[in-house]
Structures are given as C-alpha cells and as structure tokens.
Amino acid sequence: MSGRTVHGAILLLVIGNMLAMFSDVIIKWLGSDIPIFQFVFMRLLCAVLLLLPFLSMVDRGALFAGSRIHLLRAHIGMIAMVCMVIALQTLTLATANAVFYAGPLIVLVLAVTCFGERASLLSILAVISGFFGILVALQPVDITWQSLTALGTAFALAVNALLVRKLPPTQSPVHVLLLTQLYALPAALLLMLWEGAAWDWSLVTAAFGSSFFILAYNGTVLLAYRHVAANRVTSAEYTGLIWAVLFGWWWFSEVPDVWFFLGAMLIAGPLMLLGWIERRRQVALVGTAPSSTSV
C-alpha cells in the first residue's frame, strides 16, 4: 500500500468531515422553532430521491434481505436524527460534535457487553477518559435534557454501527442506505402528522442540502476505506472537530472555551492513541510476516 494511497484516503476523510459539517450548519441555521419531525421526514424523503440515480447498485433479486435489521437500524437512525437536530439547536456546534464523537467509545462498551469482545486496558481507560470528557465538554452546571440529546445521538449511532455486522454482506452501501431511509419514512410520517405543524416549504431546501452533504460524506468514507485499512486513516475523522470550531466561529460567532478543548481532548485523544497503536501493531505484523518468495 503506497503512501500516496494513504494520503489520498486521509484527504478524502478531511473533505468528508467538512461536508458533514455543512449539514450541521444548515440544521443549526434553521433555529429552534422548526417542526422537528417534519424536517426529519423531509430529509429522509430527500435522501431517497438523491439515491434513486444509483438504483443499479441495488440487488433487486434480494431487495428486502435482512429486513429485520434494516428496520431496526432505520428507526434507531431516525431517533439519532431527531436527537441531533435538538442537540445542534441547544449546544454550540463544537460542543455538540465533541459529544457526537463519543460514539466510538460507546461502540467499545457495547462490543464488550453485547458481543463478548475482549477489551484492552487502554480501551477501558479510553472509555473512562471519554466519559469524563463528555462531562467536561457539557459542563454539569449547564446540563439539560436537550443537551443530553447529543449523547443520545452518539449512542444511537454506535448501536447502528454495531448492527452493520448483522446485515447481509453482499449488499452494497447504496442498498443499505436506501433501505435505511425507506424503512424510516412511515414512522417519520406518523410523527410528523402527530406533530401537527403546517407544511413549511422553506424547510425543503434545508432538508435537501442536509441530505446531500451527509450522503456526500458517506461517499467519501466509502472511497477512503475501500483500499486502505481503517486503522491507518480513521484518526482523520476527528478533523471534524476542527471544522466544527471553525464553522461555529465563522457563522455563529461561537468561541469555544477551555472546557470544550479539554473535553474534546479527553474524548478523542485516547481513541487516536488506540488507532496509532493498532497501526504500529499492523506494521510490525507485516514486517515479521514471511516473504511470499521464501522456501
């Protein structure tokens, strides 16, 4: 694997996280008085429309394979979306994203408790550090149920990440994304009707933009990880925190305080260290592997 390939993957992830941040900016721009369930329904519908040109990548012969897991992931993803909208309306862009990045820590906990995986001492320390990082970033004196929705987003995303293991391995990413949006639409429609807000056409543009940038982020991630081992480049995902600080300052005049930086370091630092150790371990394994030309 060439260094150019790795550098290209890192660049894709940096760009992808910037694109995802545009989605967050759009949501935050909407303000706190929007009908949340109506926006979620619009975003899901827009995502389906954006995926339609790629139907050739869908296995129509086994279109509904793994439907139980797809249904579960779809509704968990919808919950994550609702929590994300509330969190972005309540917290600064940087603080909300710092808590969102607790997702990998939750994955570690769930992998051990639900899948029986073994955790190293450093993994355990990373979870403990991340927990304190969340408290520091949120600052307990300012914690409300709205701010805790950021943690709900991280938890929902972590569960969905683990459920990917249960999906049919032959399904393409487009197939998975399409079913995730489609299966969530009926529940989102019912919640929108229950919400009872008048249809707001001004939200359509925002929902379309948010869907476009999130799907573009997913595309860059797929391209980045296609030819490069995840542990070699995944730390580049944390550049999203840098974009969150810059975009929050530029568009919303949000200036992060020292508590944000300390909390973000406690959350992301141990995870980046775990990734670095894993990279070193993989390099060592490759270095000690016998040559294919040896007798």
Are 107 and 161 spatial neighbours (Cβ–Cβ below 8 Å)? yes
Count of structural domains within the chain:
1
Main-chain phi, psi angles of 172, to 5 degrees: -75, 160
What tens digit of pLDDT does each residue of 166-212 get? 888 888 889 999 999 999 999 999 999 999 999 999 999 999 999 99
Q: Where are the alpha helices (DSSP H) in the chain?
A: 3-29, 36-51, 67-90, 93-100, 103-115, 121-138, 145-163, 173-195, 202-226, 230-233, 239-252, 258-288
Using only C-alpha atoms, the chain has a radius of gyration, in whole angstroms, of 20
Reply yes or no on whether the pLDDT at 9 is more than 70. Answer: yes
252 within a domain of the structure (yes/no): yes
| 3-class SS of residue 228 | coil
233 within a domain of the structure (yes/no): yes
Lowest mean pLDDT among 52-56, 72-76, 128-132, 152-156: 128-132
Q: How many CB atoms lie within 10 A of CB 270?
A: 23
Reply yes or no on whether the pLDDT at 44 is more than 80. Answer: yes
User: Quick one: pLDDT at residue 230?
Assistant: 53
222 within a domain of the structure (yes/no): yes
Out of 102-111, 226-235, 258-267, 278-287, give the one with best mean pLDDT: 258-267
Are 94 and 243 spatial neighbours (Cβ–Cβ below 8 Å)? no
User: Domain range spanning residue 275?
Assistant: 3-287
pLDDT category at 26 given cuts 50, 70, 90 is very high
Mean pLDDT, the chain, integer: 82
User: Quick one: pLDDT at residue 286?
Assistant: 54
User: Quick one: pLDDT at residue 165?
Assistant: 79
Average pLDDT over residues 120-136: 76
294 within a domain of the structure (yes/no): no
| 3-class SS of residue 152 | helix
Task: Report CA-CA distances (Å) from 256 to 91, 98, 144.
Answer: 11, 11, 19
The residue that leads in pLDDT, 283 or 121, is 121
Reply yes or no on whether the pLDDT at 287 is more than 60. Answer: no
37 within a domain of the structure (yes/no): yes
Burial 200-210 (b: 16+ CB within 10 A, else e): eeebeebbbbb
Q: What is the pTM of this model?
A: 0.81
Q: What's the length of the chain?
A: 295
295 within a domain of the structure (yes/no): no
The residue that leads in pLDDT, 223 or 200, is 200
181 within a domain of the structure (yes/no): yes
User: Quick one: pLDDT at residue 197?
Assistant: 95
User: Quick one: pLDDT at residue 291?
Assistant: 40
Average pLDDT over residues 260-271: 80
293 within a domain of the structure (yes/no): no
